[in-house]
Amino acid sequence: MHKMRVAACLALLAASAGVRAANAGALEDGAERYRPYLIEGVASALEGARALRERAAAADLPGAKKAWLSARAGWERSEVFTAGFVPELDAQIDAWPNADSGFHAIEAKLFGAGNTDVAADATGLVEHLNDLHGKLKDITLTPQGLLDGTVRLAYEVGESKADGGESRISGTSLDDMRNNIAGIDFAYHTIFSTALNTVDGKLDEMVTNRIEQLEAIVATPDLRHVNIADLRQTSEELVIALQSASAKLGLQRPTLEAQAR
Amino acid sequence: MTLLHRRLAALLSGVIVLALLGRAVAFPVDGDKTVLPVATELNEDALDKPREVFQSERTGAKSYLVNLGDLAFNSPGLLGEVARQAGVSCGTCHVNGANNARFFMPKMSSRPGTFDTTGPLFNPKANNLAFDPVRIPSLRGARYLAPYGADGRFASLRDFVHNVITNEFAGPEPSPATLDAIVAYIHDVDFLPNPSLGPAGRLAGKITEAEHRGEALFAKPFPHDPALSCAGCHVPSSGFVDHQQHDVGSGGLFKTPTLRNADFNAPYFHDGRFDSYNQVVDYFDRTFQLDLSAQDKGDLVAYLTAVGDGVQPYERDGAGATLKEINDFSTVLATAIPAGDKDIVALAVDTIGRELRELTEQYPDRKNTSVSGGEQQRVLARNGLKELVLTLRRIEMAVAAGRNADAATELRNYRNLMAAAVPSLLASAEPWSLFNQDVHDRHYAALRQVMRSRHISR
């Protein structure tokens, strides 16, 4: 009996190793296909930050705000990557509520105080983003890390926005969510969907369905009309589906908070 | 400990609580993308919460019905679309069954602690086009305090609750079981004990001279109308109420409010016009020509304060208190899962999950500038709470699909996490959490600083 149990365990291990081996190449290929999207998102954020620095120097408040929004959109689209792979930089660039630097520090000045005195902050942002952008072509993009980031972001999207959300001064929390979901959508369908579909088509369908539901929920004219309860439920169901997917893909169960593995 | 010592201790604890409340940093709803009016104050960040005493816990455990009622009472899903979006539940105004004296909603409140139940925000159809907020009452001892509503127009608490849900808030028609549960919960919320009150509502033990004189004055007939007295309406042997409505010149017929635990129920009168007993006594003195001397007034205030006292009116909020409440809520699942009751499971998962997500935010993530240190502890605390949220969601998904056995397995996982692992993680992270007064103050001061810049520029 004992031997049978050992044999069964070994068979299970072998099968799971088989899954891992079969998927590993496909997932790594997917991660490489994700890289241009990531580079484009950070490049867009960098371009926005440069424009922001320029507009702020010209004391052009509307122009600086527009540039901040553009930079922000690129950053939020890349959050699947940033929270997991460059956590220190993420904490610096996206710190809140009263950060000394980064997006929210600039947001408070531009959208809060209504002044363009953000030269030092904008320069810092450009430097950080430029530095990151330079590293992206060589950085190792692990499927595990990207799944972790996708799952964390999927959970975060479901957090209450009843208080106006993360970017409440600029009033762009809804845009943040849309960009986050766009990032999740792209990461999932570029890296994981095909591999998951081969082992569990229904689960792949469920993930896709929940992402589409999230996109529909945030397709409202403003944050007030986002159905908060549906948003939370769908976000949690998406996370659960992705957790199930990790085992099918031969990956570890994703972490829910950014931490070293 | 002698009664005097107890009273001094109670007084000191009251002073400490007031000092803490004074220190607490309130943070109103802000931004122009919110469902609620800007500058709404829900006082959700207060670190001291009214203590909730249940009758049933004195003799045993709370019943399924009481826990279900407590759960529904704290569910924003009960009160209709606007409340659901805003995360507002019965418990927002009646925190732990007591009143929320700091609650303030522009256009719906005339002052903190009041709310216009016929205002435009939650149910435009119920809008009476008059700005007539009433004070938010404490529900402690409500089972003894019929009729219900500030004007006492409902003889039945069940009818009153139904009216609040469906008319005042435009909530969906609640099931009879949900209504029964909410009534059971409210009936179970008891007065805080008051050792100064003896049989028949007489002051007991070592009472001061002023209190003693005040008690006599309270029962004394009014000089210009001997048929009236304070005690004639606030009947001491009957919970300090007479179950009647009276016109005391404040603008109509209103029911007699209880004086028990009233030290913690300010503001006073149906519209919350008075902040203190001194003002109330002055009002009655003027309106009913009582000819009270300064000492008489002081004596009455001393008496009211003694009658209105209660043991440990507030308790410090923390992970322990929140987890206890969540555990009480979660007991509902043990009955609802085997019964395959999808609606109750969905209600529980929605409400408990929301509470757990709010609890998660008490442990700031590493992007938060208000706290440094304890990063790993905070990560583990947040991670543990998120696992609970997801476990609950798995329960709901399983029950919705008719997989009750899977749901029962998930409930066991949930209980295991709640039994030791999560409480331990939260305790480890507490020094860096918003339950720590310094971290709390820094966090809200930072938020205020940022939001202030927004207002200065507009």
Residues 6+ apart with CB under 8 A from B378: B363, B364, B365, B366, B371, B429, B432, B433
Using a CB–CB cutoff of 8 Å, tell me whether B450 touches chain A.
Answer: yes
Tell me: pLDDT of A202 over 50: yes
Euclidean distance between CA atoms B31 and B14, whole angstroms? 35
Same domain, B240 and B279: yes
Query: pLDDT tens-digit profile of A12-46?
Result: 444 444 555 567 789 999 999 999 999 999 999 99
Pairing status of strand B254-255 against strand B314-316: unpaired
B44 assigned to some structural domain? no
Q: In this structure, is the dihedral angle defined by the CA atoms of residues B231, B234, B237 and B242, taken in order, positive or negative?
A: positive
Using a CB–CB cutoff of 8 Å, tell me whether B59 touches chain A.
Answer: no
Count of CA atoms in the C-beta half-sphere (13 A) of A104: 27
Using a CB–CB cutoff of 8 Å, tell me whether B417 touches chain A.
Answer: no
Q: Is B169 helix (H, G, I), strand (E, B) or coil?
A: coil
Of all residues in chain B, the one with the smallest CA distance to A115 is: B457
- The average pLDDT across B116-120 equals 93
> What secondary structure does DSSP assign to A128-170, as a single string?
HHHHHHHHTTTS---HHHHHHHHHHHHHHHTS--TT--TTTTT
**Which uninterrupted H or E stretch holds B12?**
helix B3-23
What CATH number is given to the structural domain containing B241?
Answer: 1.10.760.10
> What secondary structure does DSSP assign to B381-423, as a single string?
HHHHHHHHHHHHHHHHHHHHTT-HHHHHHHHHHHHHIIIIIHH
Same domain, B302 and B331: no
Query: Which of B30, B383, B397 lies closest to A255 in CB terms?
Result: B383
Number of domains comprising chain B: 2
Angle at B120 between CA B119 and CA B122, to 5 degrees: 95
B58 assigned to some structural domain? no
Q: Report the gap between the CA of B2 and the closest CA in chain A (Å).
A: 48
Residues of B in contact with A244 (CB under 8 A): none
Euclidean distance between CA atoms A212 and A150, whole angstroms? 15
Euclidean distance between CA atoms B241 and B234, whole angstroms? 4
Subunit contact A98:B369, Cβ cutoff 8 A: yes
Subunit contact A232:B353, Cβ cutoff 8 A: yes
Residues of A in contact with B386 (CB under 8 A): 155, 256-257
Using a CB–CB cutoff of 8 Å, tell me whether B457 touches chain A.
Answer: yes
Using a CB–CB cutoff of 8 Å, tell me whether B353 touches chain A.
Answer: yes
Subunit contact B390:A94, Cβ cutoff 8 A: no
- The average pLDDT across B280-288 equals 98
The residue ranking higher by pLDDT, B70 or A258, is: B70
| CB-count exposure of residue B291 (10 Å: 0-12, 13-18, 19+) | exposed
- The average pLDDT across B198-221 equals 96
Q: Where are the domains of chain A?
A: 34-141, 142-261
Question: Which residues is A96 bridged to in the sheet?
Answer: B368
Euclidean distance between CA atoms B248 and B233, whole angstroms? 11
Residues of B in contact with A109 (CB under 8 A): 453
pLDDT at B267: 97
Tell me: pLDDT of B454 over 80: no
B148 assigned to some structural domain? no
Q: Report the gap between the CA of A119 and the closest CA in chain B (Å).
A: 18
Euclidean distance between CA atoms B195 and B211, whole angstroms? 14
pLDDT tier at B449, thresholds 50, 70, 90: confident
Euclidean distance between CA atoms B107 and B122, whole angstroms? 12
Q: B 365-404 residues with CB below 8 A of A?
A: 365-370, 376, 379-380, 382-383, 386-387, 389-390, 393-394, 397
Contact B253, B151 (CB under 8 A): yes
Q: Is B338 helix (H, G, I), strand (E, B) or coil?
A: coil
Q: Report the gap between the CA of A170 and the closest CA in chain B (Å).
A: 9
Query: Which of A99, A224, A229 lies closest to B350 in CB terms?
Result: A229
- The average pLDDT across A76-83 equals 89
B365 assigned to some structural domain? yes
**Which uninterrupted H or E stretch holds B49?**
strand B48-50
Mean pLDDT for chain B overall = 91
Same domain, B326 and B296: no
Helices (H) and strands (E) in chain B, counts: 17, 6
Q: Which of B128, B98, B130 has the alpha carbon at shortest distance from B113? A: B98
Among A202-206, B22-26, B78-82, B339-343, the range scoring the smallest mean pLDDT is B22-26
> What secondary structure does DSSP assign to B182-213, as a single string?
HHHHHHHBPPPP-TTB-GGG-B-SS--HHHHH
**Which uninterrupted H or E stretch holds B55?**
helix B55-59
pLDDT tier at B31, thresholds 50, 70, 90: low
ipTM more than 0.85?
yes
B106 assigned to some structural domain? no
Among A26-30, B173-177, B207-211, B451-455, the range scoring the smallest mean pLDDT is B451-455
pTM metric for this prediction: 0.89
Q: Which of B221, B222, B215, B223 has the alpha carbon at shortest distance from B240? A: B215
Please count the residue pairs, one from chain A and one from chain B, whose beta carbons lie less than 8 angstroms apart: 136
The residue ranking higher by pLDDT, B197 or B47, is: B197
Domain's final residue, options B258, B283, B307: B307
Of all residues in chain B, the one with the smallest CA distance to A243 is: B390
Where do runs of H (alpha helix) occur along chain A? 2-57, 61-77, 79-85, 87-93, 103-107, 119-135, 143-157, 173-187, 193-199, 201-217, 228-248
Subunit contact A96:B365, Cβ cutoff 8 A: no
Subunit contact A168:B29, Cβ cutoff 8 A: no
Contact B311, B260 (CB under 8 A): no
Same domain, B260 and B385: no
Q: Is B115 helix (H, G, I), strand (E, B) or coil?
A: strand
Residues 6+ apart with CB under 8 A from B231: B218, B219
pLDDT at A89: 87
Contact A152, A84 (CB under 8 A): yes
pLDDT at B10: 37
Subunit contact B451:A98, Cβ cutoff 8 A: no
Residues 6+ apart with CB under 8 A from B370: A97, A98, B364, B439, B442, B443, B445, B446
Which CA distances in Å does B140 have to A86, B95, B193, B265, B295?
52, 11, 11, 10, 31
- The average pLDDT across A138-163 equals 90
**What does the longest C-alpha to C-alpha distance in chain A come to?**
80
- The number of angstroms, rounded, from the C-alpha of B46 to the middle of its chain's C-alpha atoms is 12
Q: Which CATH number fits domain A142-261: 1.10.1660, 1.10.3470, 1.20.120, 1.20.950?
A: 1.20.120
Question: Which residues is B254 bridged to in the sheet?
Answer: B246
Contact B122, B79 (CB under 8 A): yes
B298 assigned to some structural domain? yes
Tell me: pLDDT of B210 over 90: yes
Euclidean distance between CA atoms B112 and B101, whole angstroms? 6
Domain's final residue, options B244, B278, B307: B307
Subunit contact B357:A232, Cβ cutoff 8 A: yes
Query: pLDDT tens-digit profile of A210-224?
Result: 999 999 999 998 888
Same domain, B259 and B322: no
Q: Which CATH number fits domain A34-141: 3.30.70.890, 1.20.1420.20, 1.10.357.140, 3.30.565.10?
A: 1.20.1420.20
Query: Which of A94, A174, A236 lies closest to B389 in CB terms?
Result: A236
Question: Do A34-141 and A142-261 have matching folds?
Answer: no
Q: What percent of chain A has pLDDT over 90?
A: 67
- The number of angstroms, rounded, from the C-alpha of A70 to the middle of its chain's C-alpha atoms is 16
Same domain, B256 and B337: no
Q: Report the gap between the CA of A228 and the closest CA in chain B (Å).
A: 6
pLDDT at B426: 98
Query: Which of B31, B86, B353 lies closest to A168 in CB terms?
Result: B31
Of all residues in chain B, the one with the smallest CA distance to A168 is: B31
Of all residues in chain B, the one with the smallest CA distance to A223 is: B33
Give me B226's structure tokens.
Answer: 């001997």
The residue ranking higher by pLDDT, B158 or A83, is: B158
Residue with tokens 């569910």: B75
pLDDT tier at A174, thresholds 50, 70, 90: confident
Subunit contact A223:B382, Cβ cutoff 8 A: no
Mean pLDDT for chain A overall = 88
> How many residues does this entry show for chain A?
261
Tell me: pLDDT of B91 over 50: yes
Tell me: pLDDT of A2 over 60: no
For residue B199, say if its preceding peptide bond is cis, omega within 30 degrees of 0.
Answer: no
Domain range holding B382? 318-458
Among A18-27, A93-102, B305-314, B375-384, the range scoring the smallest mean pLDDT is A18-27
pLDDT at B451: 75
Q: What percent of chain B has pLDDT over 70?
A: 91
Tell me: pLDDT of B364 over 70: yes
Q: Which of B443, B445, B444, B450 has the alpha carbon at shortest distance from B370? A: B443
Domain's final residue, options B263, B287, B307: B307
Q: Report the gap between the CA of A157 and the closest CA in chain B (Å).
A: 12
Subunit contact A257:B451, Cβ cutoff 8 A: no
Angle at B51 between CA B45 and CA B57, to 5 degrees: 135
Using a CB–CB cutoff of 8 Å, tell me whether B346 touches chain A.
Answer: no
Query: Which of A96, A163, A255 lies closest to B29 in CB terms?
Result: A163
The residue ranking higher by pLDDT, B390 or B45, is: B390
